[in-house]
Amino acid sequence: MLAAALLLTACTSGKKAGAPATSAAGQATGTASAPLKVQVEAAAQGPEWGFDAKVAAKRATPDMERFLSRYLTVAFLDPGQQRTGWRELLALFDVPVQQAARRDLDALSLGTAAAQVKAVQPGPAKAAVTFLYQGSRPVGATVKLAFDGAADVEQGSGPVRLRSVLQLLWTAKGWRIASYQSQTGASA
């Protein structure tokens, strides 16, 4: 079996902030050769009478696509993240959740095996998003995120998978992850 598959096969599970998670995957240290594309299916809910869910979802989708692309890039495709302590990745989490996210890096990214991964070739990335509106703007979102790719290591390549449910809040700094359930690895 390829080293990458061995490194990336074990499942990990991160839960809501403060919940324990086990670990077993690694982060990319090379560059991707294909561009990352995130396909987003969006819906919206709002309490207002006359709320147009289709228009609201369409309006909020571009910011969400940028956020999810950023998340996947720093978690899986950016070679310098492990060396910098995953600062850019952790900045995507709401401050009260950052400590739990640091502990759960293996469930949220390629994590501990990053030094052995030369590059990750991105494959399909899909997100089902439900935006929660208050007034005329989104204040929260639930995201079901799936990402597949291939990690290249010295001995060959193996699958990379992420399956997450993220609860996001809109803050003064944009979207931030407030809660998560996440798995990485070939069997995620």
Task: Report the predicted TM-score, pTM, of the whole model to 2 decimal places.
Answer: 0.81
Q: Regarding predicted confidence, which is higher, 124 or 4?
A: 124
Domain ranges within the chain, ordered by starting residue: 3-184
Q: Regarding predicted confidence, which is higher, 7 or 142?
A: 142
pLDDT tens-place string over residues 115-173: 788 888 999 999 999 999 998 899 999 999 999 998 888 888 888 899 999 999 999 99
Note whether 173 and 156 are within 8 A (CB). no
Q: Is the pLDDT of residue 23 over 60?
A: no
Q: Regarding predicted confidence, which is higher, 130 or 6?
A: 130
What backbone phi and psi angles, to 5 degrees, belong to 63? -65, -40
Q: Regarding predicted confidence, which is higher, 25 or 50?
A: 50
Q: pLDDT confidence of 187, banded at 50, 70, 90?
A: low
CATH 3.90.1170.50 at 3-184, yes or no = no
